[in-house]
Structure 1
Amino acid sequence: MPLVLIHTRLLMVCSVFLICSLLSAQKNETPLSIAKTSTHQIELRHDNDFFVFRDRYYTTGSFITYRNALKNSSFSNGKEQLEIAILQQYYTPNNIKSNKVEDFDRPYVGYLGISTGWSFAGNSEFLLFKVGTGMMGPIAGAEEFQGLFHSSGGIDTPPWAAQIKNSVHINFQTTYAKEWQLALNPMSVRIALKPSLAFGTKDIYLQPEAVLYFGKRNPITSSSAYNQIGVLDREFYFSFGAAYRRVLHNSLLEGHPRHDSSVFLVEAEKGLVLFNYEFVYRAGRNTYKLAQNYVSKESEATKAHITFGFIIARSF
């Protein structure tokens, strides 16, 4: 069975299972259950630019994540979590009608991968370390997956000409956050500084970021802002983030850093500006997020781009 069909069926089965669980849980949820704790969570996330009437650059991403809160932490002043995720992302040029390389402003490429992560959450600090590995190129199944989606909706499928060639990647990422609370609930105001670093064969970059949170939000150790599970107190807040990314290498544009004989590659922009808006609502064991992400042009010929992200999660 083709790899893309396995991934598609797995995503569909998990999506249906989680949505059914959410619907049935809503009927049985009681006020007391909001105060209960959980140690596990399954999350579905889908990124798409369809809602801004675009079909270019980072056009779709699908993620399934499982998280587990460790009962016995090695740290007396915080808590630890583990996570594992599978993901598929694909990228297309602005002109998806032509099959001529000279009409492209970036190459076609797909990425299919798996990542694992460990995090520590303290009273005012957060640390995340992730390791990811995956396949880039036609083997990632992005062309077939997009073709399946487009054909089901009666939309023309892009030609996927001159894709970046197959390669295997490994990447490491670490994020640290320091947070300050400026006002208390129910309309709290918090600010966080979140520098992150990625290095490996897929991405190499340094990214300082500042995030503002407004609304009813829990402390770091139990907040969905940091994907924390445990105490499930209700949350309803809005966040705005701004970041600058210093890029040293981006294989989704430049190919594998060691050697890549792909027909068409472009040089990545060294400095990117990113903005993020997110609305979050958590009630009992269910969490819902709606995000909008902006990134400035990633190569000389491309333009700035906006995508939306939809996230639902169930804790148990």
Structure 2
Amino acid sequence: MKNLKALSIALSILLGFFAQLSRAEECPARKSSIYFIAENDIGFSDRYYTNGLKLTYLSPSDDWLLNKLQFKFLRLLNSDKSAQTTQSLSLGQDMYVSYDIDDTNPPMTDRPYAGWLYITDGTHIATKNTLDSFAITIGVVGEISGAEYTQKRYHEFINVDRPMGWDTQLKNEPAFTISLNHSERVFEHSLSDNFRTDFICSAGANLGTVSTEGIVKGLWRFGFNMPYSFDAARIEFSSSQQVEYAMQNRPDWHAYIYAGFVGKAVGYNMFLDGNVLRKYDRSVDKEWLVGELNFGASLRYKDFYVSYSWCVRSKEYKTQRGGVQYFSALMIGGTF
């Protein structure tokens, strides 16, 4: 009897703990958030798109002066009065290298070295099942992007081969891209009060001197207390990661897995086609259609969250060696 009584008490305590953990609390006001994404090909290779860093601040409002016209445009696409508005401001840096970083003069058929330092101002309108995003990205390519310095210092720190081909990188030049993206939750099924699955389709375009392309995406998710968000943990021009439709009752935690695909029809890519405003001899014959698969997981407890994504991308140019490209993305952040 004593053992049974002790077991009953322990079970009550355990059930009480999980009830508290999954308790939904009132969220009368949405919170601001900040997140950081790091993409790297560590563990897979040290070539092509080798590193990306992006820091983003999200504000649940529409009052930034720079965004007035952007929101007016988005409201032409989404006039739902119950929709929630979010603004984003991002700072990022990407770096691209050739197949062999030990080569001081990579072949002309190899991908050019390139660095890209940028800021992105984004606007987002979300309902429970849709998200429309509009973003303007401006920045610089070339030596002034600081990518050469970042990679060399990092390689020295971790004591690996020093990249030798940066003298051949794209020349200094300002660059921009305007991005528009629409996402829609086309399927949702609840298995219990807190356990569900959904599928999200997206279509968008980037237009500018950095990138001109059309994009389609699909994302399947499965898990507990999933937020009404729309994107995987990836660096993209739209800066729509972690933008979500906030429900009145928000659980203290979420945990889910996902799998997705991205398809791109590429018209122009500065990091393959070379400079626009300055003479630059290196370019490669790019693939017009590029595909990507990604698999990942997302966890959150109260105001802190972390997501991880593993990605496989098809060849981006015809003379690319090594077949597909592998890399991973880690996103961490919180609300306040």
Identify the TM-score tier after normalising by the shorter chain. Answer: 0.7 to 0.9
Taking a change above 3 Å as real, the CA distance of residues 269 and 260 of structure 1, as seen in their structure-2 partners, is farther
Taking a change above 3 Å as real, the CA distance of residues 123 and 30 of structure 1, as seen in their structure-2 partners, is closer
- 1:216 and 2:224 correspond: yes
Which residue of structure 1 lines up, in the alignment, with residue 66 of structure 2? none
- 1:97 and 2:99 correspond: no
Report the AA paired with residue 66 of structure 1.
Y
Which residue of structure 2 lines up, in the alignment, with residue 55 of structure 1? 46
CA distance in 2, matches of 1:308, 1:133: 25
**In the TM superposition, what is the alpha-carbon distance from 1:228 to its structure 2 partner?**
2.5
CA distance in 2, matches of 1:263, 1:103: 8
CA distance in 2, matches of 1:222, 1:46: 19
SS in 1 for 2:88: strand
Counterpart among 156, 180, 187 of residue 186 in structure 2: 180
CA distance in 2, matches of 1:33, 1:215: 16
**In the TM superposition, what is the alpha-carbon distance from 1:34 to its structure 2 partner?**
6.0
Which residue of structure 2 lines up, in the alignment, with residue 251 of structure 1? 270
Which residue of structure 2 lines up, in the alignment, with residue 69 of structure 1? 60
Which deviations, in whole Å up to 9, do the C-alpha atoms of 1:112-159 show, x marking residues without a partner? 000010111112211111110010111101111111101112222111
**Residues 227, 254 of structure 2: 8 Å contact kept:** no
Report the AA paired with residue 255 of structure 1.
G
**Residues 78, 221 of structure 1: 8 Å contact kept:** no
Counterpart among 243, 259, 272 of residue 290 in structure 2: 272
**In the TM superposition, what is the alpha-carbon distance from 1:240 to its structure 2 partner?**
1.1
Which residue of structure 1 lines up, in the alignment, with residue 326 of structure 2? 306
Counterpart among 219, 225, 228 of residue 244 in structure 2: 228
Report the AA paired with residue 315 of structure 1.
T
TM-score, structure 2 as length reference: 0.78
SS in 1 for 2:316: coil
Residues 2-17 of structure 1: pairs in structure 2 closer than 5 A: none
SS in 2 for 1:151: helix
Q: Which runs of 5+ in 1 are unaligned?
A: 1-28
Which shifted more, 94-103 or 56-65? 94-103
Which residue of structure 1 lines up, in the alignment, with residue 281 of structure 2? 263
Rg larger in structure: 2
Report the AA paired with residue 249 of structure 1.
Y
Residues 114-133 of structure 1: pairs in structure 2 closer than 5 A: 114-133=119-138
**In the TM superposition, what is the alpha-carbon distance from 1:207 to its structure 2 partner?**
1.1
Taking a change above 3 Å as real, the CA distance of residues 71 and 262 of structure 1, as seen in their structure-2 partners, is closer
**In the TM superposition, what is the alpha-carbon distance from 1:181 to its structure 2 partner?**
3.5
Q: Which runs of 5+ in 2 are unaligned?
A: 1-19, 64-70, 233-240
Sequence identity percentage: 20
Which residue of structure 2 lines up, in the alignment, with residue 11 of structure 1? none
Which residue of structure 2 lines up, in the alignment, with residue 40 of structure 1? 32
Which residue of structure 2 lines up, in the alignment, with residue 145 of structure 1? 150
- The size of the alignment, in residue pairs, is 286
CA distance in 1, matches of 2:217, 2:106: 35
CA distance in 2, matches of 1:158, 1:98: 8
**In the TM superposition, what is the alpha-carbon distance from 1:222 to its structure 2 partner?**
9.9
CA distance in 2, matches of 1:218, 1:108: 40
Which deviations, in whole Å up to 9, do the C-alpha atoms of 1:66-115 show, x marking residues without a partner? 00012899852210100000000101111111112327620000000000
Taking a change above 3 Å as real, the CA distance of residues 269 and 223 of structure 1, as seen in their structure-2 partners, is closer
**Residues 183, 230 of structure 2: 8 Å contact kept:** no
Which shifted more, 101-110 or 131-140? 101-110
SS in 1 for 2:271: helix
Taking a change above 3 Å as real, the CA distance of residues 158 and 31 of structure 1, as seen in their structure-2 partners, is same
Taking a change above 3 Å as real, the CA distance of residues 182 and 70 of structure 1, as seen in their structure-2 partners, is same
CA distance in 1, matches of 2:179, 2:283: 24
Taking a change above 3 Å as real, the CA distance of residues 98 and 46 of structure 1, as seen in their structure-2 partners, is same
Taking a change above 3 Å as real, the CA distance of residues 143 and 215 of structure 1, as seen in their structure-2 partners, is same
SS in 2 for 1:208: strand
RMSD: 2.6
**In the TM superposition, what is the alpha-carbon distance from 1:243 to its structure 2 partner?**
2.2
**In the TM superposition, what is the alpha-carbon distance from 1:32 to its structure 2 partner?**
7.4
Which deviations, in whole Å up to 9, do the C-alpha atoms of 1:181-209 show, x marking residues without a partner? 43215331211110111001110000111
**Residues 93, 104 of structure 1: 8 Å contact kept:** no
CA distance in 2, matches of 1:267, 1:260: 19
Which shifted more, 131-140 or 232-241? 232-241
**Residues 111, 142 of structure 1: 8 Å contact kept:** yes
Taking a change above 3 Å as real, the CA distance of residues 163 and 71 of structure 1, as seen in their structure-2 partners, is closer
Which deviations, in whole Å up to 9, do the C-alpha atoms of 1:231-270 show, x marking residues without a partner? 553221111111221000000111234x441232213210
